[in-house]
């Protein structure tokens, strides 16, 4: 038996009334940062118009989900006010929701369905985004920064990503307690938080967990988590992996001058083989092509 034969199927994730992915390959979540200080694009899409244009481009490239964020979580970033985040995120969510309800061969090739995610830790931002047509709340604090978040997710019927993080945006890379067993500890903390959301009335099928690559972890911690995505899949929830272009990649020997694209694509394939349900990436074309190739390998001899 070879590596492809050992590949794990992705756990289904309920988004709206859909159970996805409907194949054994992960969904692709395209990153849309409506911020002036994104670590990747440096504020290239900081206005709602520019962010919307970028989102449409990601759809054309094959994104299944668009993740709209109005507050940078890069190490050392400064929190923004609730109103500023609303002003950044809401126009983009509203425009994309309108796009998803119309047929446009230019803007939505093949009339392909897509989902809208809002990347926020603020309950009011999540509630407004859901009102405007979003489907997913991607909370990097696993709903711990705002006590109202679990209730909002339950009452709106949102799907949710629980991302593991210790510390805050500003200190998570410099002030965190070392792990004795990073895989076990992250698994336990995510499971505990998922159960809290279930107790608050959130549909278990709508909960997705994210081990939080790069969020308050050392290089070795991040590698251990990437090596153990299968363990997170075994918990029973769908798993999102977000390792795209992250700085820890450049701390690996020999990759100091890498643009981190090829390591990111490699990480995505490794995550897919271990049962990841969703990959959160900046580079949709490259991720899509690698997943299509992997899908062809998995179907070899059966078609």
Known catalytic membership, residue 280: yes
β-bridge partners, 136: 117, 159
Cα–chain center distance at 87 = 22
Nearest Cα to Cα of residue 215 among 207, 225, 206:
225
Tell me which of 122, 166, 206, 246 is the catalytic residue: 246
**DSSP codes, 186-219:** HHHHHHHHHHHHHHTT--GGGEEEE--TTSS--H
Residue 189 to residue 140: CA distance in whole angstroms? 13
Tell me which of 88, 166, 206, 280 is the catalytic residue: 280
Residue/partner pairs of 94-101 with CB below 8 Å, 24 or more apart: 94/132, 94/133, 95/48, 95/52, 96/52, 96/55, 96/66, 96/68, 96/133, 97/132, 97/133, 97/134, 98/133, 99/56, 100/133, 101/133
Known catalytic membership, residue 122: no
Per-residue exposure over 62-94, b if at least 16 CB sit within 10 Å of its own CB, e if not = bbbbbbbbbbbbbbebebbebeebbebbbbbbb
**DSSP codes, 227-285:** HTHHHHHTTSS-BEE--TT-GGGGGSTT-TT--SHHHHHHHHHHHHHTT-SEEEES-HH
Dihedral of alpha carbons 77, 81, 83, 84, sign: negative
Q: Which residues are catalytic?
A: 246, 280
């Amino acid at each position: 038996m070879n590596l492809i034969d050992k590949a794990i199927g992705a756990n289904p994730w309920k988004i709206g009334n859909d159970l996805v992915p409907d194949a054994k390959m992960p969904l692709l979540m395209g990153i849309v940062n409506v911020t002036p200080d994104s670590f990747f694009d440096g504020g290239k899409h900081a206005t709602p118009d520019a962010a919307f244009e970028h989102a449409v481009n990601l759809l054309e490239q094959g994104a299944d989900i668009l993740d709209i964020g109005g507050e940078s979580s890069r190490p050392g970033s400064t929190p923004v006010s609730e109103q500023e985040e609303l002003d950044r995120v809401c126009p983009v969510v509203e425009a994309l929701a309108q796009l998803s309800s119309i047929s446009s061969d230019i803007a939505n090739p093949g009339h392909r369905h897509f989902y809208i995610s809002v990347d926020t830790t603020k309950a009011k931002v999540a509630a407004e985004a859901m009102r405007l047509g979003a489907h997913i709340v991607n909370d990097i604090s696993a709903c711990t920064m705002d006590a109202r978040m679990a209730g909002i997710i339950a009452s709106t019927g949102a799907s949710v990503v629980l991302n593991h993080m210790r510390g805050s945006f500003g200190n998570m890379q410099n002030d965190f307690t070392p792990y004795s067993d990073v895989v076990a500890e992250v698994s336990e903390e995510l499971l505990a938080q998922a159960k809290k959301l279930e107790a608050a009335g959130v549909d278990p099928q709508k909960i997705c967990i994210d081990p939080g690559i790069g969020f308050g972890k050392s290089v070795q911690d991040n590698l251990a988590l990437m090596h153990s995505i299968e363990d997170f899949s075994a918990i029973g929830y769908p798993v999102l992996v977000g390792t795209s272009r992250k700085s820890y990649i450049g701390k690996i020997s020999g990759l100091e001058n890498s643009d981190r694209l090829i390591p990111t694509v490699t990480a995505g394939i490794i995550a897919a083989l271990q049962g990841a349900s969703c990959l959160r990436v900046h580079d949709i074309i490259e991720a899509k092509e690698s997943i299509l190739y992997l899908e062809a390998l998995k179907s070899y001899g059966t078609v």
